[in-house]
């Protein structure tokens, strides 16, 4: 794929439901096609949602491109002595600086850079994919040892607290996501040296290296440290770095993943000597992603195997990477098992083809994002034959650089390693403000910041708590909800009955922020009883100032600020999910949320994301209070307009009108009636999938709604309505089922009346493009809700519950 224009950047063509770039006005925000949809519904459908590959795939489809020299310059800038000061000459200086390493003229700790050439000659020998791992790892680790000695003016020194090394993996790695286990198998990893050594030390019965030591022992230049370090590193390089680990590595420790593919039998041998030459485009220059759009969507959940319990995960080992932050406390069969959020049994081969390598590497990135809190960005690498591509992931999206032929253009590969070797922990994407600590044997994170009103705000985030809700995906808000304790906030608010939670997410930079919207909501609550006590209590919040657009501006990516995101942390009073309720309590809380939502809409606050996860409750003085939660996708009546790349709903619960091609292009205005319809879908979902507040075991046909794209989901939901009589749940009272049927009857009647009105106007009008008026008045909203509450089934259900 050739670059577009002289900037060398382009984006993949928009899919049919991408935002319209033409002159038509966006009436509503198109729905995002990313893994966030699956992530947000894992807790709803539990073990039935296992296929995440299609959502990662759709995120990868949207990858941007940049020239490799732009990527190298940006990475060098980040690793320089003055990262905030532009230094455009760094790349050329480093290309010249690494030449002695490339040409076998440097030795360090008894390791000669001439070994790089030897390893690369072995690499180009004919063989299968697995034969590539050892020579590449050996060449990389020799290079890192020798690059340690290279000094380039303006560049930082190697970071000994990270001490990166290339390590073979090709073994399963595990992680739990809201009680589900994922299994992935990257070929090779970039790890801190201590983390790479840990499994091998465990096997030999040796003591794990202490993660804490005196500062002087961690400083380069300390003779005792240098000798001990060089001996340890060399010993690991010689053998263990090229071996599969005896126990799994931890995703929390992984700095980068490397995935190999061998597609040609013959690879050109290395040249006799290297010079700092101009970049020669590889073939292909970029890995194509357009072909992914033609691949089939997720299979029906009934085709996936049962879930393996989370308790069967790999042996627990403390993360060796935590020490890098300030702390107080070869088989191709792997691809077939790598697509599910679990794997107890072998998945049947629905598709004999393995995932595209770009998607496969994206799945690894999703694991890396989920393994740590508030990750800013990630870097992974794809190697096909003799070309390596750098993939950069953050919550705005994905950027791939053009390839480097690391055999023929070894200096550029050496510059890449030179930059990464000088990365501090936060340069790898870890947030330096969230510090890992251990409390009562549990992994937590500590966050402290100065506040104008409260002085120092201290947050202890219980990140390993069972109630933590994690995000699984690549781009989007990436919301994590974590139980939190705080001396400062407890002093201000007292001991809250249910405790507090911190919501950590990446909000779109140019969207009205959730704290601003909640301020408006609080003002409305003072005037309306239907809102007072029915909205979340925001205790404290903070917005960070590092937009994701900065790297895109440095890389020369087109439209770098479109969809730019910033990190937020909000602390709320803890609430309980509506899915824990049933019968009269479920109905009562659900209806309270409807009334709150209606009032807010009339007052100019448009929620636009009604889902089970956003309907909460708490108990006060023996009474249940329903809470309409989560306003980070909401908008205000005086907002300048919707954004072109942020979704306004959770797909399985969105109104049918919004699950069409036109709506996904942003051509359908999001109205009150759409959110009211979402409330009906939510009640139906809970009624079919839950019994007495517990998720029913086994699968259900509606589980597939959470695995389809928006348009397909709309088609499946319409089919559900057409054959509603076949879905009656045996565990629900008949009065509840009649209520659900009656609600859909109202929706169906209203849809028919709108179609009838449009046809009548079309017949009578001279202009064939005459359309109905989409504006809604307060009386229109009241009338619509009244058609539900006045329905005989609604009345009977209310009376039945009232008599209990």
525 phi, psi to nearest 5 deg: -60, -30
Number of Cβ within a 10 Å radius of residue 562: 18
Residue 324 confidence (pLDDT) = 55
Bond prior to 284 in cis (omega within 30° of 0): yes
Work out how many domains the chain is built from and give that number.
Answer: 1
Q: Residue 221 — pLDDT band, cuts 50, 70, 90?
A: low
Paired with 112 in beta bridges are 107
Cα–Cα distance, 546 to 564 (Å, whole number) = 10
**Whether the Cβ atoms of residue 220 and residue 159 lie closer than 8 Å to each other:** no
3-state secondary structure of 32: coil
Residue 5, pLDDT score: 33
Q: Which domain holds residue 184?
A: 36-280+297-314+334-428
For tokens 């750098």, what's the residue? 390
Residue 457 scores a pLDDT above 90: yes
Residue scoring higher pLDDT (673 or 30):
673
Q: Is the pLDDT of residue 330 over 60?
A: no
Question: Which range has the top average pLDDT, 347-361, 478-492, 656-670?
Answer: 478-492
11 belongs to a structural domain:
no
Q: In 648-678, which positions are buried (b, 16+ CB within 10 angstroms) versus exposed (e)?
A: bbbbbbbbbbbbbeebbbbbbbbbbbbbbbb
Task: Specify whether the CB–CB gap between 14 and 78 falls below 8 A.
Answer: no
Q: What is the pLDDT of residue 224?
A: 57
Round to whole Å and give the CA distance between 692 and 584: 11
Closest Cα partner for 355 from 400, 296, 284?
Answer: 296
Residue listed under structure tokens 């076949």: 726
> Does residue 209 surpass a pLDDT of 80?
no
Distance, in Å, from the CA atom of 9 to the CA atom of 392, rounded to the nearest integer, reads 14
From residue 130, alpha-carbon distances to 17, 175, 187, 537, 742 in Å are: 40, 25, 9, 55, 60
With respect to residue 770, please indicate whether it lies within any of the assigned structural domains. Answer: no
DSSP letters of 508-531?
A: ETTSPPHHHHHHHHHHHHTT-TTT
C-alpha 232 chain-centroid distance: 36
Angle of CA points 262, 268, 271, to nearest 5°: 135
Structure confidence at residue 158 (pLDDT):
95
Tokens encoding 266: 């013959």
Residue 631 pLDDT: 94
SS3 732: coil
Three state DSSP letters for 451-520: ECCCEEEEEEECCCCCCCECCCCCCCCCCEEEEEECHHHHHHHCCCCCCEEEEEEEEECCCCCHHHHHHH
Separation CA 264–CA 260 (nearest Å): 12
Cβ neighbours of residue 705 closer than 8 Å, sequence gap 6 or more: 651, 652, 713, 716, 717
Give me the mean pLDDT over the 610-638 stretch: 93
187 vs 289: which has the higher pLDDT: 187
Q: Please check the confidence at residue 194 and state whether its pLDDT lies above 80.
A: yes
DSSP secondary-structure letter at 287? -
Instruction: Inform me whether the pLDDT recorded for 328 exceeds 60.
Output: no
Question: Within a domain: residue 320?
Answer: no
User: Residue 37: its pLDDT value, please?
Assistant: 43
Q: What is the Cα 340 distance to its own chain's centre? A: 16
Say if 85 falls within a structural domain: yes
- Report the C-alpha gap between 610 and 628 in whole angstroms: 8
Sort residue 235 into left (φ over 0), alpha (ψ -120 to 50) or beta. Answer: alpha
- Establish if 784 belongs to a structural domain: no
Per-residue pLDDT, averaged over 317-338, amounts to 48
Residue count of the chain, please give it. 804
Mean pLDDT across the stretch 90-116? 96
Write down the residue that tokens 């809470």 correspond to.
627
Mean pLDDT of the chain: 83
Detail the DSSP E strand segments found in 265-334. none
Reported for 786-790, long-range contacts at CB under 8 A and 24+ positions apart, including other chains, are: 787/746, 787/750, 788/676, 788/743, 788/746
The answer to which of 330-344, 575-589, 676-690 has the lowest mean pLDDT is: 330-344
Which pair of structure tokens corresponds to residue 381?
Answer: 């690498």
Query: Is residue 22 scored above 60 in pLDDT?
Result: no
Label residue 209 exposed, middle or buried (CB < 10 Å: 0-12, 13-18, 19+).
Answer: middle
716 within a domain of the structure (yes/no):
no
772 pLDDT more than 90? no
Closest among 664, 659, 763 to 717, alpha carbons compared = 659
Q: pLDDT of 143-181, one tens digit each?
A: 999 999 999 999 999 999 999 999 999 999 999 887 778
Domain presence at residue 79: yes
Mean pLDDT, residues 696-715 taken together: 85
Of the listed ranges 261-270, 598-607, 644-653, the least confidently predicted one is 644-653
| 126, part of any domain | yes
Q: Span 748-757, mean pLDDT?
A: 92
Task: Name the packing angle between helices 36-45 and 53-61 (round to 10°).
Answer: 160
CB 443 within 8 A of CB 483: no
User: Distance between CA atoms of 144 and 115, rounded to whole angstroms?
Assistant: 12
What is the CB neighbour count within 10 angstroms for residue 718? Answer: 11
Q: Identify the weakest region by mean pLDDT among 418-422, 630-634, 762-766.
A: 762-766
């Amino acid at each position: 794929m050739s670059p577009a224009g002289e900037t060398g950047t382009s984006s993949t063509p928009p899919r049919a439901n991408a935002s319209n770039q033409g002159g038509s006005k966006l009436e509503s925000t198109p729905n995002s096609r990313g893994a966030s949809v699956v992530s947000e519904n894992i807790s709803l459908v539990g073990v039935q949602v296992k296929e995440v590959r299609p959502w990662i795939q759709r995120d990868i489809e949207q990858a941007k491109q940049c020239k490799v020299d732009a990527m190298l310059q940006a990475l060098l800038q980040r690793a320089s002595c003055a990262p905030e000061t532009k230094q455009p000459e760094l790349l050329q200086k480093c290309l010249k600086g690494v030449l002695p390493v490339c040409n076998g003229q440097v030795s360090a700790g008894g390791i000669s850079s001439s070994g790089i050439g030897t390893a690369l000659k072995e690499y180009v020998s004919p063989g299968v994919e697995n034969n590539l791992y050892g020579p590449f790892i050996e060449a990389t680790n020799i290079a890192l040892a020798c690059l340690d000695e290279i000094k380039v003016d303006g560049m930082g020194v190697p970071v000994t607290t990270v001490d990166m090394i290339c390590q073979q993996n090709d073994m399963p790695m595990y992680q739990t996501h809201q009680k589900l286990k994922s299994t992935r198998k990257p070929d090779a990893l970039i790890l801190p040296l201590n983390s790479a050594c840990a499994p091998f030390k465990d096997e030999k019965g040796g003591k794990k290296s202490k993660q804490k030591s005196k500062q002087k022992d961690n400083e380069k230049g300390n003779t005792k440290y240098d000798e001990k370090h060089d001996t340890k590193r060399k010993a690991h390089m010689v053998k263990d770095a090229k071996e599969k680990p005896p126990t799994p590595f931890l995703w929390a420790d992984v700095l980068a993943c490397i995935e190999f593919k061998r597609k040609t039998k013959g690879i050109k041998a290395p040249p006799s000597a290297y010079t700092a030459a101009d970049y020669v485009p590889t073939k292909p220059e970029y890995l194509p992603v357009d072909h992914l759009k033609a691949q089939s969507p997720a299979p029906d959940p009934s085709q996936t195997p049962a879930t393996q319990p989370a308790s069967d995960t790999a042996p627990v080992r403390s993360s060796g990477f935590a020490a890098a932050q300030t702390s107080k406390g070869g088989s191709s069969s792997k691809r077939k098992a790598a697509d599910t959020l679990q794997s107890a049994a072998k998945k049947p081969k629905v598709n004999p083809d393995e995932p595209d390598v770009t998607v496969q590497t994206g799945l690894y990135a999703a694991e890396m994002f989920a393994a740590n809190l508030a990750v800013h960005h990630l870097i992974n690498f794809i190697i096909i034959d003799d070309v390596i591509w750098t993939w950069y992931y953050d919550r705005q999206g994905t950027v791939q650089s053009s390839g480097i032929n690391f055999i023929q253009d070894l200096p550029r590969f050496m510059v890449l390693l030179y930059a990464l070797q000088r990365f501090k922990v936060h340069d790898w994407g870890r947030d330096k403000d969230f510090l890992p600590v251990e409390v009562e044997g549990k992994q937590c994170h500590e966050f402290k910041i100065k506040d104008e009103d409260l002085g120092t705000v201290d947050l202890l985030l219980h990140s390993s708590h069972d109630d933590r809700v994690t995000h699984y995906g690549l781009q989007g808000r990436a919301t994590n909800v974590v139980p939190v304790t705080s001396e400062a906030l407890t002093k201000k608010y007292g001991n809250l009955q249910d405790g507090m939670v911190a919501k950590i997410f990446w909000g779109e930079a140019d969207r009205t922020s959730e704290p601003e919207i909640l301020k408006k909501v609080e003002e409305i609550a003072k005037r309306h009883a239907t809102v007072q006590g029915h909205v979340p209590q925001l205790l404290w919040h903070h917005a960070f100032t590092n937009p994701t657009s900065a790297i895109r501006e440095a890389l020369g990516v087109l439209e770098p600020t479109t969809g730019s995101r910033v990190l937020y942390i909000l602390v709320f009073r803890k609430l309980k999910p509506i899915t824990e309720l049933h019968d009269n309590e479920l109905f009562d809380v659900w209806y309270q949320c409807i009334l709150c939502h209606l009032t807010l809409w009339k007052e100019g606050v448009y929620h636009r994301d009604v889902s089970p996860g956003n309907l909460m409750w708490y108990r006060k003085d023996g009474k249940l209070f329903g809470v309409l939660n989560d306003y980070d996708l909401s908008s205000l009546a005086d907002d300048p307009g919707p954004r072109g790349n942020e979704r306004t709903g959770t797909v399985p619960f969105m109104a049918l009108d919004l699950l069409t091609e036109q709506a996904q292009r942003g051509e359908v205005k999001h109205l009150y009636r759409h959110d009211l319809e979402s409330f009906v879908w939510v009640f139906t979902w809970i009624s079919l999938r839950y019994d007495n507040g517990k998720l029913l075991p086994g699968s259900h046909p509606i589980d597939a709604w959470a695995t389809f794209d928006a348009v397909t989901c709309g088609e499946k939901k319409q089919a559900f309505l057409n054959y509603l009589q076949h879905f009656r749940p045996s565990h629900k009272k008949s009065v509840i089922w009649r209520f659900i049927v009656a609600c859909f009857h109202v929706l169906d009647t209203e849809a028919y009346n709108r179609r009838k009105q449009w046809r009548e106007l079309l017949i009578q009008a001279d202009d064939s493009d005459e359309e109905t008026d989409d504006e809604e008045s307060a009386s229109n909203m009241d009338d619509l809700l009244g058609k539900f509450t006045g329905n005989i089934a609604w009345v009977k259900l209310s009376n039945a519950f009232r008599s209990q």
